Amino acid sequence: MEVTHKKITSLRMEHITKRFPGVLASDDITLTVEEGEVLALVGENGAGKTTLMNILMGLYQPDEGRILINGEEVHFKSPNDAFDAGLGMVHQQYMLVPNMTVLENIALGYKQAWSPIKLDLGMVRERINEISKKYGLFVDPDAYIWQLSVGEQQRVELVKTLCLGARFLILDEPTSALTPQETDELIVLLKRMSSELSIIFISHKLQEVKDLSDKIAILRHGAMVFEGTTKDHSPSDIAALMTGHEVDLPQNDAPSCNGTPVLDLKNLNVKSDRGFLALKDLNLTIRGGEIVGLAGVSGNGQRELAEAINGLRKVESGEILFFGENIANKTPYHIIEAGMGYIPEERNTEGIVPSFSMKENLILKDSGRDEFSKHSFLKNKAIEKNANDLRVKFDIRSPNIHVAAGSLSGGNIQKVILAREISRKPKFLIAVYPIRGLDLGAAEFIHKQLLEKRKEGIGILLVSEELDEILDLSDRVAVIFKGQIQKVLDRKDANRRSLGILMAGVKDDQTV
């Protein structure tokens, strides 16, 4: 059976408004896409891009506003309605079921192959072949999703969306998990597809916006702040519109210092949750008073590295020398007491106990210290004083120190964590994606604090995907790929291009 949909000659969202508790996620947004156009939806994290697209796909219901296709109003109660109208979306976090095959994942949405008592996988297989040939997108239908790499999974997502008959593609940050080289391939592919399909793609990477889009729409704090044609605007214009002011984060301009090595990782082997080696004989040395940026596409072992150093993940073999002591497989408590500070990736679930008050979270690592308890009894006055002091010093915006930490905004949660970690006077600090998803004000504050700690002579390991962040702050840059350090560069030798190549797994610059 052939899937046929009416052509979408125009799509229009009018006056879309959507509220979440305490947040106005979409504020009276209107946008239009015509046939064969590529619209880039641009904005910072949290600007409301994904919410808007989820509304378009029928995943969320708008509180106000309407959607028009070919001039007629449509109501999408669920994604099914959106599929039927010819829309398809590739989400940022791939929507695939890991313990099913590619074939089964696509069959899940391919209702033509459903009869009450039998699933016609043969029909799905044919459909996949047809689409694969048409767009030059090849996937192995019998592979399990968990066996596939991120790039392959994205291809499955694209094939799935096209198999289900999409004439109008929505892509949510399609390149965020790809290497620069995979990104280039995707851009070429999307350009080819744009001759047949209309595309909306969400991004905050300006280069690909320039490369791919015809039109551009910029969101800020849930509202549309700009709409226009791409070719009339330079990337710096767009950046300024995105952020509201020129991007100006603090930079590491102090001379690099040659302190003694404080953290020395030797032939480290660590397994991932799935049981294979996420770190393979990894070696890295960090000295006091320097920031080492760990660059890499996420999923190359960064999480495992941070967890292993902090005693939260078993080290299979190798040494972690921390001021000369091997802390591999020591308890988190022991490592904390040795002077390790850690700003974890998952700030909402790992960095704080969400249901605990702010003041309680600020003593998470110190409830047993004499400062905060005596004969095992907590000293409430000292705890409150500590919280009040840190609240002022770190500019934590909360109604008071008794509110549940989980109710604070992302930036303020991160400040709570930072306040706790820094006020403990650590001898070393690991910061994992410290500004991900934060507004510029909070990001600037956090970067300043990190640089200040560096000045005080503390070694810092900064894990990030954002090359700008790495290049702004680091004294040296280590690139991680498939659980190994590809290369360690001095700040002056590193640039976006050289790092991109290393992140893609190419070791020698000369080969590219």
Partner 1 sequence: MNFIVNILSLGIPFSVALLIASLGEMFNQRAGVFNLGCEGIMAMGAFLGMLVPYSIGQGGPTPGIYNVLGLALAMGVGALFGMLFGFVVVTFRAPQGIAGIGLQMFGVGTAGTLFRHFVGGTQSVPGIGNLPIPFLSKIPILGPIFFSHNILVYLAFLFVPTAWYILFKTPWGLRVRAVGTNPRAADSIGIQVNKVRYQALAVGGALAGLAGAYLSLCQAKMFSDEIIAGRGFIAVALVYFGHWHPVKIMGGALLFSLAQALQLAIQGQGINFPYEFAVMLPYVMVIVVLAFSRESQLLGPTALGQPFNREKRI
Partner 2 sequence: MTKQFRILYKVSIIILAILAAMLIGSIILMTIGADVFKTYLVILFEPLKTTLQLSEVLLRAIPLTIIALGISVAYRSGIINIGAEGQMAMGILGTTAVALAFPELPKPVLLPMAVLAGAISGGVWGFIPGFLKAKLQVSELLSTVMLNYIAAQFYTFLLRGPMLDPAELTMGSGTPQSMRLSRNLWLDRFLPGTRLHTGLFFALILALLIYFLLWKTKYGYKMRAAGASARAARYGGISVTWYLVIAMVISGAFAGMAGAIEIAGVHRRAIEGITGGYGFSGIVVALFGGLHPAGIIPASFFFGLLIVGADMTQRMVGVPANMVNVLQGIIILVIVATKMILADPYLMEKVWRKVQGLGKKTKEVTA
Q: CA dist 89 to 20, 56, 423, 480, Å? A: 22, 10, 45, 31
Binding mask 341-380 for partner 2 (x = CB under 8 A): -x-x-x--xxxxxxxx---x--xxx-xx---xx--xxx--
The verdict on 96 binding partner 1 (CB under 8 A) reads yes
**Residue 168 interacting with partner 1 (CB under 8 A):** no
Residue type, 494: A
Nearest distance from residue 336's CB to partner 2, in Å? 4
Cα separation, 395 vs 400, whole angstroms:
12
By the rule CB under 8 A, 421 interacts with partner 2 = no
Distance CA(169)–CA(87), nearest Å, equals 6
Nearer to partner 1, 172 or 475 (CB): 172
Beta strands in 21-116 (DSSP E): 23-34, 38-42, 64-69, 72-74, 87-90, 114-115
Provide the angle, in degrees to the nearest 10, between the axes of the packed helices 121-135 and 180-193.
90
Which 53-72 positions form the footprint of partner 2 (CB under 8 A)? 63
Q: Shortest CA distance to 1 belongs to which of 162, 113, 159, 121?
A: 113
Q: Which stretch binds partner 1 (CB under 8 A): 98-106, 246-254, 303-311, 326-334?
A: 98-106
Cβ 50 vs Cβ 437: under 8 Å: no
19 binds, among partner 1, partner 2, none (CB under 5 to 8 A by kind): partner 2
Q: Which is nearer to partner 2, 22 or 71 (CB)?
A: 22
Between 259 and 354, whose beta carbon lies closer to partner 2? 354
Provide the minimum distance between the beta carbon of 51 and partner 2 in the complex, in angstroms, as a whole number: 14
x/- site string to partner 1, residues 14 to 33, per CB under 8 A?
------x-------------
Secondary structure of residue 259 in the 3-state scheme: coil
Q: How far is the CB of 318 from partner 2 (least distance, A)?
A: 22
Q: Which of 49, 91, 420, 491 touches partner 1 by CB under 8 A?
A: 91
Under the binding rule (CB under 8 A), the answer on residue 93 touching partner 1 is yes
CA distances (Å), 46 to each of 428, 437, 489, in order?
Answer: 31, 7, 33
| Window of 55-63, 204-212, 421-429, 496-504 that interacts with partner 1 by CB under 8 A | 55-63
| Residue 195 partner contact from partner 1, partner 2, none using kind-dependent CB cut-offs of 5 to 8 Å | none
At its nearest, how many Å lie between partner 2 and the CB of residue 111? 30
| CB of residue 376 to partner 2, shortest distance in Å | 5
Does 165 interact with partner 1 (rule: CB under 8 A)? no
Q: Does 314 bind partner 1 (CB under 8 A)?
A: no
CA–CA gap between residue 41 and residue 237 (Å, rounded): 15
Q: Which long-range contacts (CB under 8 A, 24 or more apart) does 393-400 make?
A: 393/419, 393/423, 394/418, 394/419, 394/445, 394/449, 395/445, 396/358, 398/358
Residue 333 near partner 2 by CB under 8 A: yes
Closest C-alpha to 383, from 408, 396, 404, 402: 402
**Which residue type does 474 have?**
S
Chain centroid to CA 454: how far?
A: 25
Query: Among partner 1, partner 2, none, what binds residue 59 when CB lies within 5 to 8 Å by partner kind?
Result: partner 1
Examine residue 255 and tell whether it contacts partner 2 (CB under 8 A): no
In sequence order, what are the residues at sequence separation of 6 or more whose Cβ sits closer than 8 angstroms to the Cβ of residue 245? 440
352's torsion region: left (phi>0), alpha (psi -120 to 50) or beta?
beta
Binding partner selected for residue 238 from partner 2, partner 1, none, CB under the kind-specific 5 to 8 Å limit = none
C-alpha torsion sign, points 41, 46, 52, 53: positive
Q: Which residue lies nearer to partner 2 by CB, 149 or 349?
A: 349
Q: Is residue 22 a contact residue for partner 2 (CB under 8 A)?
A: yes
Q: Which does 235 bind (CB under 5 to 8 A by kind): partner 2, partner 1, none?
A: none
What is the spatial distance between Cα 228 and Cα 439, in angstroms, rounded to a whole number?
24
138 binds, among partner 2, partner 1, none (CB under 5 to 8 A by kind): none
Sheet architecture: strand order including 428-432: 340-343, 428-432, 459-464, 291-295, 476-481, 484-490
Is there binding between residue 331 and partner 2 (CB under 8 A)? yes
Choose the one of partner 2, partner 1, none that binds residue 236, judging by a C-beta under 5 to 8 angstroms depending on kind: none
Q: What is the closest distance, in whole angstroms, from the C-beta atom of residue 86 to partner 1 in the complex? A: 13
Residue 354's identity, in one-letter code, is P
Q: Which is nearer to partner 1, 253 or 273 (CB)?
A: 273
Binding stretches for partner 1 (CB under 8 A): 20, 57, 59-60, 78-80, 83, 89, 91, 93-100, 104-105, 107-109, 113-119, 144, 146, 160, 164, 273-274
Binding stretches for partner 2 (CB under 8 A): 19-22, 63, 310, 312, 331-333, 335-337, 342, 344, 346, 349-356, 360, 363-365, 367-368, 372-373, 376-378
